[in-house]
Amino acid sequence: MADIPVVILAGGKGTRLRPFTACLPKPLVPIGEMPILEVVLRQLMHHGFRNVTLSLGHLSELIRAYVGTCSWTQSDLDIRTVDEEAPSGTAGSLTLVPGLDSTFMVMNGDVLTNLDYEELVQSHISSDALLTIAAHRKEVRIDLGVLEADEHGRLTRYIEKPTQHYDVSMGVYVYSAEVLKFIEKGKYLDFPTLVQRLLDAGEHVNVYKNDAFWLDIGRPDDYAQAQDIFEREPELFGIRGRAK
């Protein structure tokens, strides 16, 4: 994995986590004893990645200062940063990152997971896809009685508090460099729009289904759950505490 560049999207404002993110960028929100960004960086080190670029925006100076104090990464990770002068979207920001001329991985900076990144990358390389999206099977409970009726308003079915299941994006992706031709430099482009462009062009977008644990700590409920689980089972994520 040393030859696979990784881009961590760390420029969001984290509005769902306010007031925590009023003066702290979301990637520096703590999970246990360390910021979620440190958890992610340690996991990447564990899987053998070496080349990491942080795409920054909101409160970028704090993230840059934090990375500057991470002496434990200096011998194992080459960490670079790029800054958005104006928000360019979760796909548009990739045009600012140099060196993306082969397969590369992109991930949100607020994901707590034990996904096997190596297997994800190998799955993409062995496919003919331009883009692979890591997927999590999400259970959604509706805490209400759901009514189904015909066109005349006559009840045909009553479902009490149903549970639905969906394959959702984990915020971790593997790109082939050819995707960059679908992204115009200097133009705002979010990830869903990029995916639709690829589909409209008839390109192959792959979904990598897996059983990995996953939480989006940008969601308050997930953040609270992440705190509890990480405190009890840090080894679940390949983390055994800070290096001295």
The predicted structure's pLDDT at residue 2: 87
Q: What six digits make up the tokens of 128?
A: 């003919």
Q: What are the residues whose beta carbons fall under 8 Å from the beta carbon of 218, sequence distance 6 or more?
A: 12, 14, 16, 17, 26, 108, 110
CB neighbour class for 157 (10 Å; exposed up to 12, middle 13-18, buried from 19): exposed
Q: Which residues pair with 7 in a beta bridge?
A: 53, 106
The tens place of each residue's pLDDT in the chain, 244 residues long, gives: 889 999 999 876 655 555 455 567 788 888 878 888 999 999 999 899 999 999 998 788 888 888 888 776 667 889 999 998 778 889 999 999 999 999 999 999 889 999 999 999 999 999 999 999 999 999 889 999 999 999 999 999 999 999 999 999 999 999 999 999 999 998 999 999 999 999 999 999 999 999 999 988 878 788 888 888 888 888 888 775 554 3
Token readout for 221 is: 């409920």
Helix (H, G, I), strand (E, B) or coil at 51: strand
Contacts of residue 183, defined as CB under 8 A and 6 or more positions apart, other chains included, come to 91, 92, 94, 95, 189, 194
- From the CB of residue 23, how many other CB atoms can be counted at a distance below 10 Å? 8
CATH says 6-135+167-237 is which class? Answer: alpha beta
Q: Strands 163-175, 104-108: parallel, antiparallel or unpaired by DSSP?
A: antiparallel
pLDDT in tens, 136-164: 999 889 999 999 999 999 999 999 999 99
**Cα separation, 46 vs 214, whole angstroms:** 18
For the purposes of burial, counting CB atoms within 10 Å of the CB of 187, is it exposed (0-12), middle (13-18) or buried (19 or more)? exposed
The strand pair at 34-35 and 104-108 is best described as unpaired
